[in-house]
Structure 1
């Protein structure tokens, strides 16, 4: 198991932290099981005329021990191995420096060492991550398929769709910016010199896929029967406020060339929009189901897959915290943890509505949408009354 784990880590993380440096490291993140040793390599990118000495510094000596220095032989391009001995669970960073003019400045070069309880559990964490990634990705399709079968979107709340597309577009801007735009990545690195970019390729793929499928679902609202459903006025105001905020911050950021609001801060504002959307997007659908006394038109498959993804996401957070003995990563970030619990709570409400409260019930009116209770009275998609006389 340990050999398999080492192979996976080597393949997944092998690369170069040495872009712009005259040496490269075999990994940017080394995972070592407590009580065992690990290693990384340093390889010169230039032919040294003289033997060069590299000093190694550890910001947390209680986590792992390393040699204080290493010699890089002259006229050799062979990698030099550095042994890391684990001492306690946690994370430390090994930085480097040298007086060799041939190697140049290495002050920004480092390797993150993560000492964990179990290397096998680290693999489980990766597997769990892919499970919730797949569950969330597939969760969009049951609603699309249901709409096709019914040739109708009555019962699917338009406010929910409007919030969803806004949230995923905002999240997409954040993920694409953090993953692909070099100036933003450089700004994040400058602000967090030992930090690892929180956005991975699967985050980008998931978000772009979510935008596409949500757009397809919205398109279905134009071609299938929808009754008198529409996006409510209050949702239009909220969404307009979100995008107005994004536009104003964009103008300020561009006009000030990043001196008032940096581009990194601007990108993070989009993640806040996503968080805000997540807090409110389920409310209209829950209320609509309540008013109709039915979940007809709202796919329970979407809910079950979403709750599966959310549950595995929280499970991964707990596994990571245990394996790294870092419970602050959960409770120190109540926003991320709270939103996960919040989403699952709404999924539970939907499940109760579908299987208990309104099980096999048709909508309260025969057409599948709310009929007026008063003359000239209409309902928005959230079930609120408008145009009553």
Structure 2
């Protein structure tokens, strides 16, 4: 009987606890998750409390990631009423950079999605300048494929265009397209991304998809020209086939692991992007070596190089402008992958320009 009585008391206590938890629950969100403010200025957002059933007042404090970048007024609020509330919060920008402002409530249980990413810039004109630079290098990179297509068409020959470069390029752009399309269009993968980075933004934008798919299509068209125009004895080398075979085996194993739930499909997309980065590092080497062996750049479009050089220089310039405007130099020196790849491509472009205009400028090499 004592055991039954104790069990009943436990059930009653559990029921009361569940009721308390239920009554203490509310939703805390904000009117917007992103604010962009000029330094020494301010912006506002609303703190939204929905479905509050807690009868006793409770405070909400604001936690600031970088107190040298932003200030929040008021720094805390007290929720005194049940139901819905909306409180205006002011964010003051005191230093350039990026900072998060998150609400921290002391209620027993609450659903919280209350954070604001604040970006503080120094000069508004630089923001516009950066956007213009971005569109210019996007256009330059997008049309950089066409000079090579045109020169192939004019010569009715692809002699001088290295097939290893084409093979590496098409694999790289296809993988880049897979990464962008998967992360942008597949809800399950996007959900996984936000589970890992709940306060992040999807890194893939529409222009990334357009560029990747267009680059893959233009490369496929160029490869198609190789089947119709004169190509002499050119073919994909055993070295390039071996490298692509290693990449293919790596991705095949990754697909199996993703299909058997050992890794997530998001991980597979990241692996695709890593292979793309590796290809970007090595894809120009075969063409540069071929030019050296032939002592000629005939058949290799210098227009492609100038456009690629323009895109790479402007891409790095945009990163430098943004780093200054947002006081965010860590994006270059703390994570140098993107900047390093742009610099690497520009170095190769300069080398190709030297080959074309200095080393082999008098070469009239042309296979008939």
Aligned partner of 1:205 in structure 2 is: 210
Question: SS at the partner of 2:358?
Answer: helix
Structure-2 residue corresponding to 1:157: 162
Runs of 5+ in structure 1 lacking a partner? 1-20, 369-389
Equivalence for 1:243: 248
Q: How far apart are the structure 2 equivalents of 1:325 and 1:175?
A: 28
Mapped to 2, the partners of 1:93 and 1:243 lie a distance apart of 40
1:330 aligns with 2:332: yes
Q: Give the corresponding residue for 2:44.
A: 39
SS of the counterpart of 2:128? helix
Distance of 2:222 and 2:340 partners within structure 1: 28
* Corresponding residue of 1:59: 65
1:123 is matched with which residue?
128
* Count of residue pairs the alignment pairs up: 341
Match of 2:75 in 1: 68
TM-score in terms of structure 1 length: 0.79
Cα RMSD (Å): 2.9
**Equivalent residues in 2 for 1:1-389, closer than 5 Å:** 25-41=30-46, 56-66=62-72, 67-69=74-76, 81-96=88-103, 105-255=110-260, 257=261, 260-363=262-365, 366-367=366-367
In the alignment, is the contact (CA less than 8 A) between 1:72 and 1:80 conserved in 2? no
User: Cα deviations across residues 4-62 of structure 1 (Å, max 9, x unaligned)?
Assistant: xxxxxxxxxxxxxxxxx9787554321111111122345688899x9998654323333
Structure 1 residue 301: deviation in Å? Answer: 0.7
Please identify, of 317-326 and 34-43, the stretch whose mean Cα deviation from structure 2 is larger: 34-43
Separation in structure 2 between the aligned mates of residue 52 and residue 234 of structure 1, nearest angstrom: 67
Q: Distance in 1 between matches of 2:143 and 2:277?
A: 21
Aligned partner of residue 107 in structure 1, secondary structure: strand
Separation in 2 of the partners of 1:306 and 1:155? 18
Which structure has the bigger radius of gyration?
Answer: 2
- In the TM superposition, what whole-angstrom CA distance separates every residue of 1:318-344 from its partner, at most 9, and x where no partner exists? 111111212111011132222111110
Q: Which runs of 5+ in 2 are unaligned?
A: 1-25
